[in-house]
Amino acid sequence: MAIYGTGYRGLDYRQNSMAARLLPIVWGEYRALFRRRMGVVLFFVCLGPALFNLATVLLQMGVLQIGGATERLQQLRSINPRMDGTRIEFFLSLLSEPPSFLAFLVLTAVVSCRSIAKDRETRALEIYWTRCVEPRGYFLAKALGCFLLLGTVTVAAPLVTWVLGCLLAPDWTYLQATLGFVPRVLAALAIFTAILTGIAVMFSAVAGTANLASILWFSLIVGAAAVGRVLARVFPGEWWFKVINPWDAGKRVAEWICGYTPVENYPVVDAWIALGVVIGGLGILVVRRTRRFEGIG
Amino acid sequence: MSASLEFRQVSKWYRQVSALIEVSAAIGPGVTGLVGQNGAGKTTLLKLAAGLLRPSLGEVRVCGESPRAPAARRRLGFCPDIDRFYEGLSGRTFVTWMLRLQGYSRASAGRTASAMLQQLGLAHAMDRKIAGYSLGMRQRVNLAQALAHEPEVVVLDEPLTGLDPVARHDIGELVRELGRRGVVVVVSSHVLHELEHVADHFVLMHQGRVTAEGNLRQLREQLADRPREVMVRGPDARGLASRLSQIEQVERIEIGATGITIAVRGAGVFEQLTAIGAEPGDLVHEIRVLDDSLEAVFGYLVS
Amino acid sequence: MTVSLTDVTIRYGSLLAVDSVTAEFPLGAVGLLGRNGAGKSSILKALLGLVRPASGSLRILDLSPLARGAEIRRRVGYMPEHDCHISGLNGYETVLLAAQLTGLPRLDAARRAHEVLYLVGLGEQRYRFVAGYSAGMRQKVKLACALVHDPELLFLDEPTNGLDPRGRLEMLGLVRLLETDFAKSVVLSSHILQDVENVCHSVVLLEQGRLLTAGPLAELTRSTLRVFEMECTGVEHDVEPALRQSGLSAVECVGGGRYRLTVPSGLPMSRVFAAVRQASGTVRELVEHRRTLEEVFLGALRSAGEEA
């Protein structure tokens, strides 16, 4: 039964700026994962590696006391710089270790790859295009929302870890030891996240369905990485094969920004070129695919 | 056994939700329109007729047999409210398969399918994949699979959804023709003024029950005791209005821009209007009954 | 005029969607009719500034869509035909987002979303996910999104799709209300011609990208002769000769007590009544025959087909 209750009234308003109009898209994309319980669980699972780092720092500071863990940690610290909260490797571990790699991959697949493709599936693009937002703005807003979500895991969590470490340390040694590189590391992580999120969102803009976008993403990262490693084994000395997948290329770029020299020290230029090719190619596809008139059937 | 569709005290519920409550109806040859709000039970009723559902209580009989019996299935055609088929097949292949399922031989299935599709206006498109069909073409394929095997009972669930005016007209004609040929046709639709032109007999449903049944005249008569609205027009509005107010069955008079609207109750009004019209003063130019349409009748019956 | 098209041609690659159409949509409710593929949606897209015509010019609300697209989209509400929704949002959030995308400030948008949802008749269901809505509820959300920013002009594409009889009446009533009481212009595109007849004052009819006919409904549906349809009781055998003798130009018995009468000018209608009375019958209905919009539509298509 319809209720034509309050009747229709006119409306007077001053139109918001373009940025204010796009903000709900950013915020909506950020919140999309948390609407469902599985999403919340997934988020916290992906936060696992970062939480592990946090626990390591807390153990190191002596704030957290667990059975034989502190001694074990002491031992590991001398062998493996990755376990030492004052070393750059500790912060860059996010880029090299399988658990955080997997976490990033899955989170990106669930969030960034779905972002635009889902809208295309439910024909929501028609709603967006017939309002006062431009496709470019829409794309950037979506990408920003995804970046902020992924960044919570890759940038905000290490930042919190570092700040807590500084605050909880018995003296200022922690701060002194880490201040030299931590800001650059965080910037590098942010840029890394932005590049990879951008690639995932571009897949989302190109693919017809969310699932297809996720498949493309997995294929590119995992598939190219696997192929690259095999080929690098077969042709030793040819770094190209290591760099064809965006994750490794992005990692090399991030390490370069921090001024960190990795074990496999191949030229950064290779990495930039590889990334440029992927982004450029996808970019062309995106421009061709998101023509506005497609929105209305 | 002559063609007929019967529901005998049929009730259907899904777990706790009751869809139909003691529905009894006997539908014979001709076109019968099925009308009701969403949730009234129309689709459930049609699916029961097609044998897709089993009644929780009561029986459904298609030409005297259960709709699930193969013999009954052969005599029934069902056009459901869907727009997706086997997208990778061509229209002709799809209808041919459906005919093979009915027991046609390979050769005759192909011939019959082509003939049916041609009759429905898909001659040029029948070999294209269904994935490329527009909504109107899909609906024609849907009808083709329902009618190709020349069933005696045809059940159509919203056959005109999404169709353009030409297609609506053509398919309306097709349905009327089927009714004239003696096929038992049951059509459900929300667009009541269209259904009025296609069907002669109506079944009105509300909240799982049949609230009324009959042709339009019979349905109107069920509401004989409610006031009806009649619009009368003539060159001298005021003079006409004062004459009309003298009719005792007139309960209310309203003079508007388009004419004089009177609310009348009881019999004998039209005799008096005819008498007034026949007077030399040429008072009455138009008489129009405002709420005699299926739409109006349905509105009254469910409110 | 709210909308005027001058010699507009729209191509998608090699496909010619709209071919040199010149038309004007007056204020009020206009019906945009045509078969599938006639070019209606292409014209709507062009008017919203989403597609560039190959040639010709469009003006909507006295603005050019290509130059001032965003402003036009602020003043126009579009209700699409297809099922479109943003996944994961409920009805209220969808309308709220639509409002914010048009530039309403947050508080205005929230208040307005609720108001408009009451207007279209979506009560408590507004807090459920749109993905789970019935067809009628989806239509209401789409209409709410089209109205939330108080547009001057509404494009409604098949607004009664999937609605049950009461829903249809409500929707059409709402459209009429918006047009008469709130001075909004409406462009209604529908395949159900009787709806268009009930709501619109004029129509524009397209076929295969070309303009077939356009104009006020009153003119298009006017019969050239004064033809009346009558329903009366009484034995046909008696009534028909009585009518013929009463001075009518032509009497046609349609069946079921209905007759089609051609009345020459100058003949008083009382002769018709008297004739029926004389045959012991009663006139139950006497209406001037107008061509229905369906007849206009099919007739126009037929003559276009013959010319082709």
* Mean predicted lDDT score pLDDT of chain C: 88
Co-location of B33 and B124 in the same domain: yes
pLDDT at A78: 77
Chains touching chain C, criterion 3+ CB pairs below 8 Å: A, B
Residues of C in contact with B133 (CB under 8 A): none
pLDDT at B270: 87
Co-location of B214 and B241 in the same domain: no
Q: Residue A66 class from Cβ within 10 Å (0-12 exposed, 13-18 middle, 19+ buried)?
A: exposed
Per the model's pLDDT, the better-predicted residue between A216 and A270 turns out to be A216
Q: Highest-confidence range of A283-292, C51-60, C216-225, C246-255, by mean pLDDT?
A: C51-60
Chain C residue closest in CA terms to B279: C270
Given an 8 Å threshold on Cβ–Cβ distance, is C108 in contact with A13? yes
pLDDT at A295: 43
Write the CB contacts of A35 (distance below 8 Å, at least 6 apart in sequence): C88
Nearest CB among A15, A25, A292 relative to C74 is that of A15
Q: Which domain holds residue B237?
A: 228-302
For B130-140, the pLDDT digits (tens) are 988 888 888 88
Given an 8 Å threshold on Cβ–Cβ distance, is B190 in contact with C164? yes
pLDDT at A2 over 60: no
pLDDT at C308: 56
Co-location of B157 and B20 in the same domain: yes
The CATH number given to whatever domain includes residue B193 is: 3.40.50.300
Is the dihedral angle over the CA atoms A109, A273, A228, A97 positive or is it negative? negative
| Confidence (pTM) | 0.85
Which residues from A are below 8 Å from C when comparing CB atoms? 1-11, 13-16, 20-21, 23-25, 28, 32, 35-36, 118-119, 121-134, 292-293, 295-297
pLDDT at B205 over 60: yes
Given an 8 Å threshold on Cβ–Cβ distance, is C283 in contact with B165? no
Nearest CB among C70, C81, C84 relative to A127 is that of C84
pLDDT at A69: 76
Average pLDDT for B192-196: 91
pLDDT at A297: 38
Task: Tell which phi-psi region holds residue C173, choosing left (phi > 0), alpha (psi between -120 and 50) or beta.
Answer: alpha
pLDDT interval class at C260 (50, 70, 90) = confident
Given an 8 Å threshold on Cβ–Cβ distance, is B161 in contact with C162? yes
Nearest CB among A24, A123, A125 relative to C101 is that of A24
Q: Which residues of chain C from 170 to 209 reach within 8 Å of chain B, CB to CB?
A: 191-194
The Cα of B74 is separated from the nearest Cα of chain C by a number of Å equal to 31
Which residue type occupies C28? G
Given an 8 Å threshold on Cβ–Cβ distance, is B165 in contact with C33? yes
The CATH number given to whatever domain includes residue B254 is: 3.30.70.920
Percent pLDDT > 70 in chain B is 100
Pick from A28-32, B20-24, B226-230: least confident: B226-230
Average pLDDT for B10-32: 92
C35 touches chain B (CB under 8 A): yes
Which of B220, B246, B275 is the endpoint of a domain? B220
Q: Highest-confidence range of A107-121, B222-236, B273-287, by mean pLDDT?
A: A107-121
Write the CB contacts of C62 (distance below 8 Å, at least 6 apart in sequence): none
Given an 8 Å threshold on Cβ–Cβ distance, is B270 in contact with C284? yes
Residue written as tokens 């969403």?
Answer: B38
Given an 8 Å threshold on Cβ–Cβ distance, is B270 in contact with C162? no
pLDDT at A1: 39
Query: Three-class SS of residue C188?
Result: strand
B35 touches B189 (CB < 8 A): yes
Nearest CB among B166, B191, B270 relative to C35 is that of B166
pLDDT at A287: 86
Chain B residue closest in CA terms to C282: B271
Average pLDDT for A3-19: 73
Co-location of B185 and B292 in the same domain: no
Given an 8 Å threshold on Cβ–Cβ distance, is B278 in contact with C277? yes
pLDDT at A7: 66
Given an 8 Å threshold on Cβ–Cβ distance, is A16 in contact with C123? no
Co-location of B252 and B185 in the same domain: no
Distance CA B280, CA B275 (A): 10
Co-location of B31 and B178 in the same domain: yes
Which of B199, B220, B241 is the endpoint of a domain? B220
pLDDT at B144: 93
Co-location of B51 and B160 in the same domain: yes
Co-location of B144 and B253 in the same domain: no
- Mutation target for C interface from B34, B164, B189: give the one with most C CBs within 10 A: B164
For C130-155, the pLDDT digits (tens) are 988 988 899 999 999 999 999 999 99
* Mean predicted lDDT score pLDDT of chain B: 89
pLDDT at B214 over 70: yes
C280 touches chain B (CB under 8 A): no
φ, ψ for residue B145 (rounded to 5)? -70, -25
Given an 8 Å threshold on Cβ–Cβ distance, is C164 in contact with B37? yes
Residues of B in contact with C163 (CB under 8 A): 190
Given an 8 Å threshold on Cβ–Cβ distance, is C35 in contact with B164? yes
For C57-95, the pLDDT digits (tens) are 999 988 998 888 888 999 999 999 888 899 889 999 999
pLDDT at A79: 79
pLDDT interval class at A291 (50, 70, 90) = low
Given an 8 Å threshold on Cβ–Cβ distance, is B162 in contact with C161? yes
Residue written as tokens 């309306």?
Answer: B172
Which of B171, B188, B220 is the endpoint of a domain? B220
Read off the tokens for C81.
Answer: 């035909």
- Mutation target for A interface from C119, C141, C161, C174: give the one with most A CBs within 10 A: C119
Given an 8 Å threshold on Cβ–Cβ distance, is C298 in contact with B169? yes
CB pairs under 8 A between B and C: 116
Average pLDDT for C102-114: 92
Co-location of B154 and B253 in the same domain: no
Distance CA B182, CA B258 (A): 43
Co-location of B197 and B275 in the same domain: no
- Mutation target for B interface from C139, C164, C180, C263: give the one with most B CBs within 10 A: C164
For B215-264, the pLDDT digits (tens) are 888 888 777 777 888 889 888 888 888 888 888 888 888 888 778 888 88
Q: What is the largest distance, in Å, between two alpha-carbon atoms of chain B? A: 75
Contact flag for B and C (3+ C-beta pairs < 8 Å) = yes
Domain total of chain B:
2
pLDDT at B174: 92
pLDDT at C238 over 80: yes
Average pLDDT for B11-21: 90
Chain C residue closest in CA terms to A135: C50
Given an 8 Å threshold on Cβ–Cβ distance, is B169 in contact with C294? yes
pLDDT interval class at B117 (50, 70, 90) = very high
Distance CA A151, CA A104 (A): 10
Closest CA to C72 of B2, A105, A131, B36: A131
Three-state helix/strand/coil letters over chain B: CCCCEEEEEEEEEECCEEEEEEEEEEECCEEEEEEECCCCCHHHHHHHHHCCCCCCEEEEEECCECCCCHHHHHCEEEECCCCCCCCCCEHHHHHHHHHHHCCCCHHHHHHHHHHHHHHCCCCCCCCCEHHHCCHHHHHHHHHHHHHCCCCCEEEEECCCCCCCHHHHHHHHHHHHHHHHCCCEEEEECCCHHHHHHHCCEEEEEECCEEEEEEEHHHHHHHCCCCCEEEEEECCCHHHHHHHHHCCCCEEEEEECCCCEEEEECCCCHHHHHHHHHHCCCCCCCEEEECCCCHHHHHHHHHC
Residues of C in contact with A10 (CB under 8 A): 150, 182
* Mean predicted lDDT score pLDDT of chain A: 85
Pick from A116-130, A234-248, C200-214: least confident: A234-248
ipTM over cut 0.90: no
pLDDT interval class at C166 (50, 70, 90) = confident
Chain A residue closest in CA terms to C70: A132
For residue C286, give Cα distances in angstroms to B107, B230, C149, C267. 56, 11, 46, 15
**Sheet-wide strand order for C283-288:** B250-255, B260-264, B228-233, B286-289, C283-288, C227-232, C258-262, C250-255
Average pLDDT for B173-180: 93
DSSP C38-107: SSHHHHHHHHTTSS--SEEEEEETTB-TTTSHHHHHHHEEEE-SS----TT-BHHHHHHHHHHHHT--HH
Co-location of B81 and B50 in the same domain: yes
Co-location of B247 and B102 in the same domain: no
Average pLDDT for C7-31: 90
